[in-house]
A and B are shown apart, each in its own frame.
Chain A
Amino acid sequence: MAGQANTSRVHLWFAGPAILLMFVILIVPIFIAAGLSFTNYSLGNSGAQFVGLENYERIFTRSTYEKMFIATFTYVGVVVPLTVGLGLGAALLINSVTRFGDLYKTIYFLPVMAALLAMAIVWEFALHPTIGIVNATLTRGCGTFLEGWAWYAQGCERTFPLWLTDRDYAIWTVAFIGVWQGFGFNMVLYLAGLTSIPRELYHAAEMDGAKSGWERFRLVTWPMLGPTTVFVVTISCIRSFQVFDTVEAFYPQGGGPGKSVFVMMFAIYEKAIQQNLMGIGAAITVVFLAFVMALTLVQRWLVERRVHYS
């Protein structure tokens, strides 16, 4: 019995350091942030007053934070479907070509490996209204059939958009860069998922009458990619909620034109670090954490209950 008791305590010594570290590094800061979110604490002040739900009330009532939610959800709403769709499309195409597949994989994965902050500066050059390659290329298309497109004709007549400084285009441009940077990662995950689909399933589907490629995709490929898709969507959502580098590189003074790119991560940085309003910064952090937690819980629920076919 004594031996058993000793054995049962041994696992605590193995798991203890990891649990302690996880508690100190992950759990305690969450509780500290939650505690700070109910105060008006700022760095340098010795004391902090309890303000109750005032910080949360500000977040959900003031127009600045309304813009923050709009910008964040627009970004997530654009980037997640496009990165997932393009990642899947690229994976399917690359997996089906007989030559140069590895070359395409390498090219599409390049933006994932590149530092986004550095690439944001390059994009700033490329999207510059006068010296940028994007508007220069668009201008070369003037006088061709492209002018049949009203938007294009208007650009040729006046000027092409100020991609980063026009409030109507800024969030979409930042989202495009997010898609450019993110879909290669999803492509790799989908490629891994595709290799795990047994070939026999395609043969069986074909014998059961699934003749067209679309039918095989709908009946075999897509269901078998269920767990991969759930993981990809969750990771893409979390990464999209965490967008900061591009916004900070393009708009270091805050939030883009008319706060149209005032995403949550940048709001946390601006409030807590630049303006030293730790209370409101902590409150935004808690709201951000709630979104990420909800996404993770939905993913776990889907993975465990809905999407397993094997």
Chain B
Amino acid sequence: MTDAAMTSQPVVSDQKGARSDSSSMSWSSREALKHAVLIVGAIIVLLPFYVMVSYSFKGPSEIMQQTGGFFGSQELFRDDFCVKLGN
């Protein structure tokens, strides 16, 4: 974890110069690294929500065969059981 993260202080402009002088990594590299870590975490956190929303657009066969991308083919869902019952 980087210096600014350890102290939990938001990096303000007057601290930038001083920190980057004493550190091997520049301020923007550190900021990018922090965002990279946070984005990886966010992807893991959002994964089940992605699955949930994606599956809500797909038909059963698309879910089983892992086809149709995120939105699926958007075909009307036909429930054979209900059709047989006349509903």
Contacts and interface: CB of A to CB of B under 8 A. Distances in A.
Interface string A188-220: 000000100101001000000001111011001
Contacts of A100: 35, 38
Contact of A125 (B4, B10, B41, B51): B51
A217 B10 contact: no
A180 B63 contact: no
A93 B37 contact: yes
A126 B44 CA distance: 12
Contacts of B42: 104, 107-108
Contact of B6 (A90, A98, A180, A214): A214
A91 B45 contact: no
A97 B46 contact: no
Given A110-B45, A122-B48, A131-B66, A217 B11 contact: no
Nearest to A193: B8
Contacts of B51: 122, 125-126, 133
Interface string B29-68: 0010011011001101111111110010000000110100
Interface size class of A (residues with CB under 8 A): 35 or more
B45 A107 contact: yes
A202 B31 contact: no
B6 A217 contact: yes
The listed residue with most A CB atoms (<10 A of its CB), out of B4, B11, B31, B48, is B48
Contacts of B4: 96, 213
Contacts of A94: 38
A96 B48 contact: no
Contacts of A133: 47, 50-51
Contacts of B46: 107, 110
Contacts of A96: 2, 4-5, 7-11, 34
A42 interface: no
Nearest to A101: B10
Contact of A202 (B5, B9, B66): B9
Nearest to A125: B51
B31 A131 contact: no
A180 B10 contact: no
A284 B79 CA distance: 45
A197 B48 CA distance: 35
A78 interface: no
B76 interface: no
The listed residue with most B CB atoms (<10 A of its CB), out of A93, A180, A199, is A93
Nearest to B38: A104
A299 interface: no
Contacts of A199: 9
A59 interface: no
Nearest to B52: A122
The listed residue with most B CB atoms (<10 A of its CB), out of A86, A194, A217, is A217
Nearest to B42: A107
B34 A108 contact: no
A131 B54 CA distance: 13
Contacts of A184: 45
Interface of B: 1-11, 22, 31, 34-35, 37-38, 41-42, 44-52, 55, 63-64, 66
Interface of A: 86, 89-98, 100, 104, 107-108, 110-111, 114, 119, 122-123, 125-126, 131, 133, 136, 180, 184, 194, 197, 199, 202, 211-214, 216-217, 220-221
